[in-house]
Amino acid sequence: MAKFLLRGIRQRGDMDVRIVSLATSRRDPLSVLVSRPSTWFRGVRTARAEAHGEEYVRVGAFLGEIELFRLKPRGALRNLFADCDLVQLVAGAPSWICTLSDVQKPIVAYVATMVDIERRRPLSLATGLSGKWRKFMTDFAVRMDYDGLKVADEVFVMNTWMQRHCSEHTIKGIDNVHYGPPGVDSTTFTPLAERTPSRSYILSVGRLSDERKNAALLLNAYSKAAAAKADLPDLVLAGAGDMPDWFWQRVRQFGLEGRVRHIPNPSIAALADIYRNAQCFVMSSDEEGFGIVVIEAMASGIPMIATRCGGPEDVVADGVNGYLVDRDDADAMADRMIRLASDVHLNLKMGTEALNTVQARFTSEAAFRPYSEIYDRILAQLAR
CATH number for the domain spanning 336: value is: 3.40.50.2000
Q: Is residue 194 part of a domain?
A: no
**pLDDT value of position 173:** 67
**pLDDT value of position 287:** 84
Entry pTM = 0.77
**pLDDT value of position 158:** 85
> Do residues 273 and 297 touch, judged by C-beta distance below 8 A?
no
Tally of structural domains, the chain: 2
**pLDDT value of position 295:** 96
Quick one: 175 and 27 in the same domain?
yes
pLDDT beyond 80 at 121: no
Q: Which residues constitute the domain of residue 333?
A: 202-361
Q: Is residue 283 part of a domain?
A: yes
Q: What is the pLDDT of residues 58-112, one digit of tens each?
A: 999 999 999 999 999 999 999 999 999 999 999 999 999 999 999 999 999 999 8
Q: What is the pLDDT of residues 265-313, one digit of tens each?
A: 999 999 999 999 999 999 999 988 888 999 999 999 999 999 999 889 9
**pLDDT value of position 174:** 66
**pLDDT value of position 333:** 98
The amino acid present at 93, given as its one-letter code, is: A
Quick one: 115 and 258 in the same domain?
no
**pLDDT value of position 341:** 97
Quick one: 97 and 19 in the same domain?
yes
Quick one: 45 and 119 in the same domain?
yes
CA distances 95 to 78, 149, 202, 209, 331, Å, are 18, 8, 37, 25, 37
Q: What is the pLDDT of residues 331-357, one digit of tens each?
A: 999 999 999 999 999 999 999 999 999
Q: Is residue 102 part of a domain?
A: yes
Quick one: 124 and 17 in the same domain?
yes
First to last CA, the chain: 31
CATH number for the domain spanning 157: value is: 3.40.50
Quick one: 336 and 370 in the same domain?
no
Quick one: 42 and 171 in the same domain?
yes
